[in-house]
Amino acid sequence: MKIGVVGCGAVGSYYGARLARAGDEVHFLLRSDYDAVRRGGVQIRSPQGDFRVQPKCARAPQEIGICDLAIIALKSTANHEFPKLLPPLIGPATTVLTLQNGLGNEERLAGVAAKDQIMGGLCFVCLNRLEPGLIQHIAHGQVVLGEFQRWPEPRTHDLAGRFRTAGIPCTVTDDLARTHWEKLTWNIPFNGLGVASAAGFDAVCSGQLPDASPLRECLTTDKLLSDERWSKLLVELMLEVIAAARGLGFEVPVALADKQIQRTRAMGTYKASTLIDFERRQPLELQSLFLEPLRLARCAGIQVPRLAALCRVLEQLNPGRCPGFSGPPSC
């Protein structure tokens, strides 16, 4: 299978490397990391065993050409680049798979590909990009695949099997939208509070940064869980996200909150991706991860005061706004 990977950070590099190791023809679309990856390949450090692969490298999508599978692992802040990056990779038979966080990514892809070509994948994995071409796999790695606005197809199960052959635990969901909300029960509290903790607990609860107050050190997952006030707030946010999902008609169980907490305790010290973006002074994925869920919750008439306050703080802390940023959500 010819596979193009667009967005070769931690997620794209890790899954692309595993597919390349399994024998697929994998092309990485690279910018700043081009020279390092072309020279030294991609190295994965993992408790499951370290390995290195040499993917094919390209600076422009035209160098790759039409693929059987296009994997999109860009930050959602770069979704405005879809019309420039993706058309050279997509033919009539190409499957377009987004592994991005949050809501609305499949809808944006529908502007450059046919709906029946689009799939979504949810990655339940702990990864960090240490330097160009070097990825640290810390724990987990499961991918849940689903079709955009339709039931699973034979190709859905075929792709899941290919992922499993590459050493990637993979299952298929019959409702991609519901599974997005299930993942948001982790992403919103841990990504959000990891960044917002820099403003302090009181600011996060009120939704307003104090005037001229210096920022604190951001809290990793273990520190959020070890502090009684923060851990209580984590659970409250999770329950709001679950209430929003249920209000929208998705059967997300309340017990998922406790399961997410227990899984995260087992991870130890971990910096969520939004916290890493914040430390690097990069724009945060506010729209897909926080503002769109807030908008949908409000449209469903669900009260989510903790989420609303968190969004206000994150908007104030955001190091930069991305092109196409739509501002505070409204119904």
Choose, from 183, 232, 259, 271, the residue flagged as catalytic: 183
Alpha carbons within 13 A on the beta-carbon side of 202: 5
Angle at 107 between CA 103 and CA 113, to 5 degrees: 140
Dist. CA 35–CA 95, nearest whole Å: 28
Q: So what's the pLDDT on residue 3?
A: 98
Question: Residue 233 is which amino acid?
Answer: L
Q: Sketch the domain layout of the chain as residue ranges.
A: 2-174, 179-317
Contacts 24+ apart (CB under 8 A), 117-120: 117/90, 118/147, 118/148, 119/95, 119/145, 119/146, 119/147, 119/148, 119/156, 119/159, 119/176, 120/145, 120/146, 120/147, 120/148, 120/176, 120/180
User: What is 179-317's CATH topology?
Assistant: N-(1-d-carboxylethyl)-l-norvaline Dehydrogenase; domain 2 (1.10.1040)
Dist. CA 324–CA 281, nearest whole Å: 19
Dist. CA 93–CA 149, nearest whole Å: 18
Q: How far, CA to CA in Å, does 61 sit from each of 90, 116, 138, 265?
A: 10, 22, 30, 40
Q: So what's the pLDDT on residue 320?
A: 66
Pairing of strands 69-72, 170-172: unpaired
> In this structure, are residues 48 and 167 in contact, taking their beta carbons and an 8 Å threshold?
yes
CATH of 2-174, one of 3.40.190.10, 3.40.50.720, 3.50.50.60, 3.40.50.300: 3.40.50.720
What is the token pair recorded at 187?
């992403």
> Is 223 an annotated catalytic residue?
no
Q: So what's the pLDDT on residue 268?
A: 87
What distance, in Å, lies between the first and last C-alpha atoms of the chain?
Answer: 42
> In this structure, are residues 310 and 193 in contact, taking their beta carbons and an 8 Å threshold?
yes
Q: So what's the pLDDT on residue 79?
A: 96
Pairing of strands 118-131, 95-98: parallel
User: pLDDT under 70 in the chain at which residues?
Assistant: 212, 320-331
CA 152 to chain centre: 21
Helix (H, G, I), strand (E, B) or coil at 61: helix
The DSSP-derived string for 152-220 is: --HHHHHHHHHHHHTT--EEE-S-HHHHHHHHHHHIIIIIHHHHHGGG-HHHHHHT-PPTTPPP-PPPP
